[in-house]
Amino acid sequence: MINAHRAILFKVCHVYCRERALQEDLFQEMVLQLWKSYPTFRHESRITTWMYRVALNTAVSFFRTVRKTPEQQSISKHEFQIPDIASFPEEYGNRDVLHSAIDRLTRIEKALVMLYLEEKSYQEISDILGIGLSNVGVKLNRIKIKLGKIIKSQSV
């Protein structure tokens, strides 16, 4: 189940941190949280909605607690590597612009913009993030304006 939608986790990792070690720690935490919370998943929503909810909540709270938890070690050398966006082919000519623009958003804004880029409906975004439907629209409009300004300032 996690495997079928693993790209969700990779994207959350890339949206929330640039540092490879932190990405791996976050990925580790998200997989553990998904695995632990699966027994309580009641199949009332789509599996991807639930995965987004757990992954984004983990990511948002991860940076609050990261300094308190015992030092984690990279899993990459043993089993796994989070794909490095920088190593992807040149078809992503604007990937750096996209990432540095997202970097300048707040944690909640990052979650919203990621779901927007994933072409989720307002209803799904509202379900995943647990915010009101009208609030989604308002926040997304603000973020679009903010992102537009960021991108414009970067291109200048």
Partner 1 sequence: MNLDEMQTVWKAYDRQLQRTRAISEKIIVSMIAERSKARFASVRRQYLVGFGWLLLCLGAGGAVLWGNPFDYTYTWQFAPVALYCIGLIFLLSDMILAFRNLKRIAFHHHALDIALRNVIAVYERPRRFMRYILYGFLFSQIFLFPLSFLPRAIERMGLWTALGERLIAIAVALLLLYVAHRLGAFKERHRDKFKHDLSELESLKAIVAELQEE
Q: Give me the residues that bind partner 1 (CB under 8 A), please.
A: 2-3, 6-7, 10-11, 28, 31-32, 35-36, 70-75, 78-81, 83, 85, 88-89, 91-92, 94-95, 97-98, 101, 117-119, 144, 147-148, 151, 155
Residues 132 and 126 sit within 8 Å (Cβ to Cβ): yes
- Comparison of 119 and 130: residue with beta carbon closer to partner 1: 119
- Comparison of 72 and 135: residue with beta carbon closer to partner 1: 72
Cα(156)–Cα(129) distance, rounded to whole angstroms? 34
CA 7 to chain centre: 10
Residues 6+ apart with CB under 8 A from 42: none
> Considering the complex, what minimum distance in angstroms separates the CB of residue 122 from partner 1?
16
Cα(120)–Cα(30) distance, rounded to whole angstroms? 21
> Considering the complex, what minimum distance in angstroms separates the CB of residue 147 from partner 1?
7
> Considering the complex, what minimum distance in angstroms separates the CB of residue 135 from partner 1?
20
- Comparison of 65 and 155: residue with beta carbon closer to partner 1: 155
- Comparison of 71 and 130: residue with beta carbon closer to partner 1: 71
> Considering the complex, what minimum distance in angstroms separates the CB of residue 62 from partner 1?
14
Residues 6+ apart with CB under 8 A from 20: 74, 76, 82, 84
> Considering the complex, what minimum distance in angstroms separates the CB of residue 66 from partner 1?
13
Cα(62)–Cα(26) distance, rounded to whole angstroms? 7
Cα(32)–Cα(26) distance, rounded to whole angstroms? 10
- Comparison of 113 and 129: residue with beta carbon closer to partner 1: 113
